[in-house]
Structure 1
Amino acid sequence: MVAKIWQRFLAWGLVVLLLVSLFAGLAVAEDKPVVTLEQAIRTVKDNFEISKEYSRFTSSFNSYDGRQTWSLHWNEPAEPGGSFNADVDASTGEIINMNTWKPEKRPEPGLRLPAISAAEARKVAEKLLNQLAARYLPELQLLPDNNRLLPINNYGPVTYTFRWQRVVNGIPFPGNDVTITVRGDDGQVTNYNLNWTKADFPAATGAISPERARQVFAGTGMLELQYYLQPPYRPLAAGEKRPVLLVYRLSHPSRGLIDALSGAPLDLGNGGWFDKGGAGGMGYAGEMARKAAFSQGDVQPKPLSPEEMKEIEKTAKLISREEAIAAIKKWVDIPAGLTLRGANLYADWQDPEIRSWNLNWSSDKPEPGKPGYMSARVNASNGELLGFDLSSAPSGSDRGGKLDRKAAQRLAEDFLQKVQPQRFKEVQLDENYRPGWEPVIMEDGQNPAVQYFYYRRLVNGIPFPGNGINVTVDAVAGRITSYNLNWGNFAFPVATNILDGQQAVEAFLKKRPLTMSYTQIYSPGGPGQGELRLVYQPLGDPGYTTSDMLDARTGQFLDWEGKPVAQQPRPYRFNDIAGNFAEKEINLLGQAGIFGEYGEAFHPDENVTVVSLLRAMLMARNGVWGYKDLKDEEILKRAREEKWLQEDLQAGATVSRETLAKFMIRFLNLERAALAEGIYKVPYSDAGSLSPGSLGYVALTWGLGILKGNGFTFEPNHIVTRAEAAAALIRALEVKP
């Protein structure tokens, strides 16, 4: 009997071993790429020229989401370095990505004009597209790029990027495309990327009409009227407050996606997101009041300024550190074993007039399961608790929470009603708040160990997401581990003379019409490729900038600073310069976003003003961002700091040819040479009419080819036109050291 049992055991053992070896063989077979490493290398070298200097070669094999790729890397081992990288599909042998990089030598000052035009670069890109992605061409559509600025500084070569978007059965798929980047100096391709999904696309049969999609968009509250406060990008001056705007904002959980088959807003689920493709509490330390220490004797104390006296008086009225700690203990227990390590008094980042105490405790020997650190903030004027954080791991974070969502919410709200009774009446729970994509309920039905809540502020019944209260609940231990109040004192505009909801929808969809398209929906832990869905989504016109936010009064799209998107720097294609002697130079500056005071018109024969020329010079030197909207006084200030403007000239004054010569030489940092005496002469018959000290500037602009007068006379008092100023600026940029 025992022998038979052993025989059966051995037989089953052999079967198991056979199955294991069989499955192992299958696994190996599945992992073995169809395309070998050698074939991948040859494919890349057949299509691209790889510098011999990139002599170090490495490779890796990657398998993810059902896709296998060879990653190939060529590098230059010696200084200054450089690299060429490519990814090859190990199943099809297609090149799916390429990028190359070579460090630039320190560029010479001056203009870097592209050696090839955009049209010539496009031919290079189209040749490569036909070479590498010919079978995808029937489903590719070149997108325009009407909003690309041409940089004219010397920070790097001009590049042209072309993007072909995938269109399936006449329906755009923004998540799939081919992009190619071409250098403007030598016509070399520096980047190639093929992003292509292999899947069955849902048919558009039975899809709702665009009119029905529009009704759903308008009827489901996709756009919400909100107060908007621009994010801080610099410290505020004393007494300065950032303005609050009334906006309509795309804040629906669907992010504007409507299922084209069911007609319902798309449910992205917990932490879901989609590929848009190419479609369109902080603080800073306040100053601490110090007691003045004076030495004995006859030395008299230096007088304090009114601002210093005001700060001393203000600080004297604030609560002490001990009073701040007592205010914290009124609402929160400071865990035993923690020692106070720091306490600082600082000005609030939203309102410098508000001072707060920031205190933190920590343990020298933190114990497992116990808080090892705590911080808290208190309003130094009235002792109000602004926030606290117990930064220890929640109890039993590897287990399900004892409190479900509703129970945790009751715990959070009981606390808020005690510590912030009045402000709790002015907030509303944000049901869509998910920090870090945390789910409300785990997939296995358990409650998560931590529950997060955000109560956003309401003002006049209008949400103000920029302010609110955060609460974190340890759902295992049943305690609050974090509380943060973000509440500023702002002037809120009254919601009068604003667009109604329907008008906002009309303005939004005019620039971002609902377009039937394919998109991929991703979820945490889901398949990397994402689920393909047929949707209506608000897509902007390719090549033009839009956003998710409208001004509630004007209907204009706003950027993150709350400024109209239409006012952002953009290239200009001037319609009144054909045949002008400076057409080429004016066109170049227009492509760079310079001299756009009149939009698509340039006004070449109009006299240039001091501020217009200096603004153009600043943009040419530093780029257009940050200068387009500067006030005239600030432009003059910056120009004086650069030492370009040394004369007493008003912003709207005209510019003489002699002044233009000085501006251009100072722009090139050659003023020291221009001031040298007794070494210059010029071929102008009216040289005697030059102002004292101007000869060096005029001589240098003549010798460098920037200004030539009329060839015989310079006419120093000639008033410069916008066309003449543009030509001089470009010629100055072309000067080589």
Structure 2
Amino acid sequence: MSVHMRKKMAILLAAAMLVGTAVVPSAFAEDAVSESQTTEGTEVPAESPAGETAEDPEDAAISKEQAEKLLRQYISIPDDYKLQRSSYSGQKLFDGEQKIWRLVFTKTVNGREMGNIYASLDSDTGQLLGFDSYSNEPGAAPTYPLKVDREAAQELAEGFIKEVAADYVPQIAFNETDGADLLPPLSGKIVHQLRFDRIVNGMPYTDNYIHLSVDSEGHVLGFQLQWDDTIEFPKPSKTLTAEQATAAVKKLAKPELAYIVTHGEGGKREPILSYGLSPIVIDAATGEELQAGGYGAWDDGVVQDAPLTEKPLSAPPKAGKLSEEQAAEAVKKAFGLPEGAKLTESNYNEYVTESGETSTSWDLSWSLMKDGKEDGYVFASVNGSTGAVRSYYGYSHSEPAATGSVLPLDQALQKAVDAVKAQLPWLTDELYLVKPNEDRYKNVAPDEIGSYRISFKHKVHGASVDYDYVSLNVNARTGKVESYDASISEYDYPSNAPKTIDAAEAVESYLNYYDVALTYRVFQEFWWEGNPLPIEKYKLMMASGEIEGSEVESKSKVELVYKLQQKPLHESVFLDAQNGEWRSRETGAVTTLEVPKPTDAAGHWAEEPLSLMVAYKALDLEDGKVRPNEKITRGELIKMLVLARNSGGGYYPMYGMDQAGSAEKSTASFADVAADSEYFAYVESALQQNLIDLGDGSFNPEGLVTRDEMAELIVRALGYNTLADYDHIFKSNFKDEAAIDNKGQAAIVVGLKIMSLSDGKFLPDKEVSRAEASIAFYRYLQKRAELQEAPLRM
């Protein structure tokens, strides 16, 4: 008997006996529910992901019954969770296949699903591969500050791995950055995402890992073992040092200019010129650049070096007001309408742009008739003031039948270029053809091409405008433009190219944004009918059943590389190309790659709350100082309150978007907090949530705040303000009670220990400092968590 056969027999024997020797933790807590309602224990084959194959359960080394017993041991599945459905399939590995049992356990009460546990197991070895658990049963409110922080969660995760995947412990290392939230939490509803990377020859292979989800109460919510033992990793030979790799990356780096649209101050959307740098991958031994996405990466085409024309072919069209007939005529002139086309629907739309101007459009639909019957349709959208066609799509059932000839790609490209020149003549000096990869159409039958999809990139002074797009479909048999879509935003750009920082300076900045990491990468090349098949298309065609796995040739490769790996960030940023500053992608505000820390808070009695508020930009810094003893303003306090209630999430004005990507103008509720104010979004949100009143229409954002006013705000945020009006039910012995306007609110905040007394006095008229406000809201967060109740089940 072979070693493999003896091992398999031993596994079968162990699975059959199931003597329960494993130490099994209570591994799950649940927080949602599935909608499935299949019969308990019924075999329901799951839809296999791309790369998986259906298998016969009779061939499984471990039966479904044995798999269920093992899983119930691994993750302590309660008895009231019954097996609802199962699937057995094979998953492709680098050089082989893994057989997997996937089981779903469901808890049902009075015919209603109360929870699900999804679990998977290797059917040859019995190894737990993963589980996730969900429930619609409310649990106790999580505490704040966290009962289990990330460091404690890591210890729990390591203990769990030792119990369910002990053989992998020597081969993994904790990834300090993956899943780490650089911003401190503002809520106890935190799930720590913890990843342990596979270490091969002393280096991480990040495509293999163990991932766990642990909540702040210490429950393991999920586990995933992503591993492939069939990969043969080459022994590292002489490799570049980190310094040499960094130098090679600097030589290869080509930062590109592009416009970014942000909300800007007060939510105003405006384009800002940025520098971007695509991830770079180099051979670890030679420094030679490798394709970042692997050799099977999808190729959208190559942007041509020159625009369609050196100068625009015409001036922009003059604004006017088109009638329905004129809009229909614009479509007919641009793309033609077949004989018998009947206009069946038209809609006229108006909307106000960010600049306050009214923009209009006509949406039109035609039915195509032939021999008295409907033969197809045409849809189009036309700018109601200029007559420019924004989109067009036409379809006819009686298209010519496929023939043996097909329009060559070059001719299709020319037709697309001619169409764009005719439709957007005032932009031809800013539009660049994206030429598709000709390999995509090699060895493809004419009737399978259908149509060529051709796109154009918009650039202003060489900088990409990626939020704009122009694309067409050209029929490969008739040469007709079947569809056209042009979205060009109506922003103003500088007439001359802005002065930017040097590209080398941009690269240096990005080396603070990225790490140059040494790692293995493994990828597969797929070939079908003699042509390379990008991995994305391979998965799509496999999933749709268009191809069988046996029709595709797979070539695998393992490489040791250096690659640019993004460092963890506390917010999404971009590099301002004009001044070299990092800015927030959401607001456009100047920011930093690291969480800001006040230099004058160290050792302060409110150090932690002050640092918390600075991290979320509720309080600003001046020369790195938070100025804890300065008085807080009304605007700052409202911003602090809204951020605390929203667990730190950003608040931006709600804009309606027009079809060109511009935003409708917002209206300010307060005369002294305009839409471009830094406090606008927060004040409007507070008003909508009934935290503040409109009053006389002024807010006074720079005014100072008394303790009496802050007490009312906090109680409103807790939801007890109406109750506080019945102040006679609250016992208080404040020495200065007669001077307090909001007696009930003062009693609540003192009783909850959110605010404190000074020698028995509440001091209602005392103005609040930044430090005092910070610690009050920190205590508010604690009490908010304590006061949350689970719903009563009747």
Q: TM-score, normalised by structure 1?
A: 0.76
Alpha-carbon distance, 1:420 to partner: 3.8
Q: For each residue in 1:617-674, what CA deviation from the matched residue of structure 2 results, as whole angstroms up to 9, or x when unmatched?
A: 1111123222499713443444344443458763333332222222222222323233
State the Cα RMSD in Å.
4.2
Alpha-carbon distance, 1:557 to partner: 4.8
Amino acid paired to 1:488: S
Q: Going by fraction, where is strand more abundant, 1 or 2?
A: 2
Alpha-carbon distance, 1:207 to partner: 5.3
Is 1:77 aligned to residue 117 of structure 2? no
Specify the SS of the correspondent of 2:483: strand
Q: Is residue 572–residue 596 contact of structure 1 (8 Å, CA) maintained in 2?
A: no
Amino acid paired to 2:502: D
Cα gap change, 1:476/1:708 in structure 2, threshold over 3 Å: closer, same or farther?
A: same
Q: Distance in 2 between matches of 1:28 and 1:675?
A: 68
Specify the SS of the correspondent of 1:41: helix
Q: Is residue 521–residue 532 contact of structure 1 (8 Å, CA) maintained in 2?
A: yes
Cα gap change, 1:721/1:97 in structure 2, threshold over 3 Å: closer, same or farther?
A: same
Specify the SS of the correspondent of 2:124: coil
Alpha-carbon distance, 1:374 to partner: 1.2
Alpha-carbon distance, 1:260 to partner: 4.2
Of 688, 699, 702, the residue aligned with 2:750 is 702
Q: Distance in 2 between matches of 1:366 and 1:573?
A: 76
Residue equivalent to 1:722: 770
Of 411, 415, 440, the residue aligned with 2:415 is 411
Q: For each residue in 1:303-325, what CA deviation from the matched residue of structure 2 results, as whole angstroms up to 9, or x when unmatched?
A: xxxxxxxxxxx99x512111111
Residue equivalent to 2:682: 635
Q: Is residue 440–residue 448 contact of structure 1 (8 Å, CA) maintained in 2?
A: no
Alpha-carbon distance, 1:71 to partner: 0.4
Cα gap change, 1:418/1:669 in structure 2, threshold over 3 Å: closer, same or farther?
A: closer
Is 1:64 aligned to residue 91 of structure 2? yes
Specify the SS of the correspondent of 2:337: coil
Q: Distance in 2 between matches of 1:490 and 1:521?
A: 42
Cα gap change, 1:40/1:319 in structure 2, threshold over 3 Å: closer, same or farther?
A: same
Amino acid paired to 2:79: K
Q: Distance in 2 between matches of 1:267 and 1:113?
A: 41
Residue equivalent to 1:49: 76
Specify the SS of the correspondent of 2:639: helix
1:159-238 equivalent positions in 2, closer than 5 A: 159-185=191-217, 187-198=218-229, 199-205=231-237, 217=249, 222-229=254-261
Amino acid paired to 2:721: E
Specify the SS of the correspondent of 2:641: helix
Residue equivalent to 1:7: none
Of 172, 181, 202, the residue aligned with 1:147 is 181
Amino acid paired to 1:668: L
1:442-461 equivalent positions in 2, closer than 5 A: 442=442, 448-461=449-462
User: Percent of aligned positions with the same letter in both sequences?
Assistant: 24
Is 1:359 aligned to residue 367 of structure 2? no
Q: Is residue 344–residue 367 contact of structure 2 (8 Å, CA) maintained in 1?
A: yes
Of 527, 538, 553, the residue aligned with 2:578 is 553
Specify the SS of the correspondent of 1:728: helix
Specify the SS of the correspondent of 1:503: helix
Q: Distance in 2 between matches of 1:86 and 1:367?
A: 59
Alpha-carbon distance, 1:96 to partner: 1.5
1:292-331 equivalent positions in 2, closer than 5 A: 317-331=320-334
Q: TM-score, normalised by structure 2?
A: 0.71
Q: For each residue in 1:690-733, what CA deviation from the matched residue of structure 2 results, as whole angstroms up to 9, or x when unmatched?
A: 14x43232233333433341252222233333343233334444
User: Which 10-residue stretch deviates more, 413-422 or 96-105?
Assistant: 413-422
Q: Distance in 1 between matches of 2:293 and 2:692?
A: 57
Alpha-carbon distance, 1:367 to partner: 11
User: Which 10-residue stretch deviates more, 522-531 or 43-52?
Assistant: 522-531
Residue equivalent to 1:94: 127
Q: Distance in 2 between matches of 1:323 and 1:37?
A: 69
Amino acid paired to 2:85: T
Q: Distance in 1 between matches of 2:714 and 2:598?
A: 24
Q: Is residue 598–residue 614 contact of structure 2 (8 Å, CA) maintained in 1?
A: no
1:121-520 equivalent positions in 2, closer than 5 A: 121-145=153-177, 146-153=180-187, 157-185=189-217, 187-198=218-229, 199-205=231-237, 217=249, 222-229=254-261, 242-250=269-277, 256-260=280-284, 263-266=288-291, 268=293, 272=297, 317-336=320-339, 338-347=341-350, 353-362=358-367, 372-391=376-395, 402-431=406-435, 440-442=440-442, 448-493=449-494, 494-520=496-522
Is 1:105 aligned to residue 138 of structure 2? yes
Alpha-carbon distance, 1:409 to partner: 0.9
Cα gap change, 1:149/1:413 in structure 2, threshold over 3 Å: closer, same or farther?
A: same
Cα gap change, 1:123/1:366 in structure 2, threshold over 3 Å: closer, same or farther?
A: farther
Residue equivalent to 1:623: 647
User: Which 10-residue stretch deviates more, 440-449 or 359-368?
Assistant: 359-368
Q: Distance in 1 between matches of 2:248 and 2:472?
A: 34
Alpha-carbon distance, 1:182 to partner: 1.2
Alpha-carbon distance, 1:247 to partner: 1.7
Amino acid paired to 1:360: S
Cα gap change, 1:80/1:179 in structure 2, threshold over 3 Å: closer, same or farther?
A: same
Q: For each residue in 1:331-360, what CA deviation from the matched residue of structure 2 results, as whole angstroms up to 9, or x when unmatched?
A: 322234543222122347977644222211
Bigger CA radius of gyration:
1
Structure 1 residue runs without a partner (length 5+): 1-26, 275-313
Q: Is residue 598–residue 621 contact of structure 2 (8 Å, CA) maintained in 1?
A: no
Q: Distance in 1 between matches of 2:57 and 2:402?
A: 35
Structure 2 residue runs without a partner (length 5+): 1-53, 300-317, 525-534, 539-551, 654-676, 789-794
Q: For each residue in 1:103-158, what CA deviation from the matched residue of structure 2 results, as whole angstroms up to 9, or x when unmatched?
A: 243987x975433333332211110122233333344222224534454457xx33
User: Which 10-residue stretch deviates more, 468-477 or 706-715?
Assistant: 706-715
Of 755, 761, 768, the residue aligned with 1:713 is 761
**How many equivalent residue pairs?**
649
User: Which 10-residue stretch deviates more, 481-490 or 577-586?
Assistant: 577-586
Q: Distance in 2 between matches of 1:195 and 1:527?
A: 24
Alpha-carbon distance, 1:513 to partner: 3.6
Q: Distance in 2 between matches of 1:562 and 1:633?
A: 13
Alpha-carbon distance, 1:191 to partner: 0.9
Cα gap change, 1:487/1:367 in structure 2, threshold over 3 Å: closer, same or farther?
A: farther
Cα gap change, 1:687/1:331 in structure 2, threshold over 3 Å: closer, same or farther?
A: closer
Alpha-carbon distance, 1:675 to partner: 2.6
Specify the SS of the correspondent of 2:776: helix
Q: For each residue in 1:272-313, what CA deviation from the matched residue of structure 2 results, as whole angstroms up to 9, or x when unmatched?
A: 269xxxxxxxxxxxxxxxxxxxxxxxxxxxxxxxxxxxxxxx
Specify the SS of the correspondent of 1:651: coil
Residue equivalent to 1:539: 565
Alpha-carbon distance, 1:213 to partner: 5.5
Specify the SS of the correspondent of 1:700: helix
1:590-601 equivalent positions in 2, closer than 5 A: 593=616, 595-598=618-621
1:4-43 equivalent positions in 2, closer than 5 A: 32-43=59-70
Residue equivalent to 2:719: 669
Q: Distance in 2 between matches of 1:548 and 1:622?
A: 21
Q: Is residue 368–residue 396 contact of structure 2 (8 Å, CA) maintained in 1?
A: no
Q: Is residue 227–residue 465 contact of structure 1 (8 Å, CA) maintained in 2?
A: yes
Specify the SS of the correspondent of 1:372: strand
Specify the SS of the correspondent of 1:414: helix
Specify the SS of the correspondent of 1:492: coil
Amino acid paired to 2:420: L
